[in-house]
Amino acid sequence: MIIETEIRIGDIVELSPTKMSTLDDLDLEVGTVLEINEQEHCYKIVFNNDTYINERFFDNNSTSDWFSLQHIINVERDYKVINITDNQDTITGQEVCIITMAKVKKQVELTEQGYTITAVVDEFDTDKFIFAGFTANELSELQDTYSRVSFAQYKLRDAEIDYVPIKGWQSKTPINEPGDIFTLLDLGYSEADN
């Protein structure tokens, strides 16, 4: 399976261009998940040519439709960086930096004007991202930032840190600087949004 993470409301998804004939061949490939039908593995996705950077509002003229999981080729999710630590993978002995990121959970409300999306950081629902070749000090500028991760750039990896097994995400592409970790940086969320 290409997608190794559960798709959530508010995630940004990329659709396979070859599967778009259901929308009269409109050139729409990236959208925001509004609803999920878990039994059918289908996702209601909205497209908008005039989105805010965080996709916080979609007006009534926005195009939306249902797509099955097989149409989705990438998932992007917003996170808040909450912890950066130096560690050692006890299986490989490799020095690694682990960034713990809290998911930005989104809720959708249908109003008379369209779909309004609100976001709240859940510091108890986190993912760990594993980076070799970096120290926590080198990535410290990311602390408390809100940014977007593309799961197409990561693969799930089993690791053992301090003799405790963890599942973490490891980059498939070279990370040369902190900004390479994300597809969008500084999304503009603040504590006031919570």
For 92-122, the pLDDT digits (tens) are 788 899 999 999 999 999 999 999 999 999 9
Q: What is the DSSP string of 45-78?
A: EEE-TT--TT--EEETTSEEEEEEGGGEEEEEEE
How far, in Å, CA of 45 to CA of 33, rounded? 5
Distances in Å between the Cα of 79 and the Cα atoms of 43, 63, 123, 176, 188 are 21, 26, 10, 20, 12
Question: Does residue 2 register a pLDDT over 50?
Answer: yes
Neighbours of 39 (CB within 10 A): 6
Interval 130-167: pLDDT, tens = 998 899 999 999 999 999 999 999 999 988 877 888 89
Element (H, E) at 29: none
Whole-model pTM? 0.87
